[in-house]
């Protein structure tokens, strides 16, 4: 099968890869590039565990063809912490135990970061709507929502 050569930027770093024309970006992230932070819960756009940003816009990497990211900026969970320095959302999720098994967590964090960049002062309803595409089978969502609200408040205070 003729491979497609893709040149892109992932978490600020230039990256090149070869993919099959029908291959999705989640598969390339995990199996070609070894970026296994993004998870596959469903592969059909329902669970949000594979969430990434594409030119800053939140999307499911399982619903993006890898060939489509040519020339784009991809953001994954691996780009969230700066070295050993966790993003405030990551820190808060640990402090408030906003995760259990952790499978949904990378997707939730990527989605929550995208929300706070767009809206630094979301209401609880806005947080719940924004994260409605991130399914969690463990936490019951409450701790997740509270951790996002608390992080937002702290980040506003620090700004």
Partner 1 sequence: MTDIRYLAPQTLDEAVGAFAAAQGAARILAGGTDLLVQMRNGVARPGTIIDIKKIAELTSIEETADGGFRIGAAVSGAVLAEHPRFGTVWPGVLEAINLIGSTQVQGRASPGGNLCHGSPAADSVPAMVAAGAVLTIQGPNGRRTLPVEQFPVGPGRNSLAPGEILVSFSLPARPKGSGDAYLRMIPRTEMDIAVVGVGVSLTLENGVCTAARVGLGAVAPTVKLVADAATALVGTKLDDAALEAAAAACRAACKPIDDKRGTIEYRIKVSGVLLKRTVAIAAERAGRA
Residues binding partner 1 (CB under 8 A): 1-2, 4, 20-22, 24, 43-45, 48, 51, 54, 57-60, 62-65, 67-68, 70, 111, 114-115, 129-134
- Alpha-carbon span 11 to 86, nearest angstrom: 15
Which residue among 43, 80, 91, 126 contacts ligand FES (CB under 6 A)?
43
Which residue among 49, 112, 115, 145 contacts ligand FES (CB under 6 A)?
49
Residue 70 contacts which entry, partner 1, ligand FES, none (Cβ below 5-8 A, type-dependent): partner 1
Residue 141 C-beta: closest distance to ligand FES, Å: 9
């Amino acid at each position: 099968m003729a491979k497609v050569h893709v040149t892109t930027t992932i978490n600020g770093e230039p990256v090149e890869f070869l993919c099959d024309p029908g291959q999705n970006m989640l598969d390339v992230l995990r199996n070609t590039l070894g970026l296994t932070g993004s998870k596959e819960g469903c592969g059909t756009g329902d669970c949000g565990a594979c969430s990434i940003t594409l030119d800053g816009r939140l999307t499911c990497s399982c619903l993006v063809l890898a060939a489509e990211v040519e020339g784009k900026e991809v953001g994954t969970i691996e780009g969230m912490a700066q070295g050993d320095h966790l993003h405030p959302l990551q820190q808060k999720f640990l402090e408030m135990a906003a995760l259990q098994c952790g499978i949904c967590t990378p997707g939730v964090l990527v989605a929550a970061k995208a929300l706070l960049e767009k809206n630094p002062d979301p209401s609880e309803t806005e947080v719940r709507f924004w994260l409605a595409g991130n399914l969690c089978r463990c936490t019951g969502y409450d701790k997740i929502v509270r951790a996002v609200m608390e992080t937002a408040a702290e980040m506003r205070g620090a700004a």
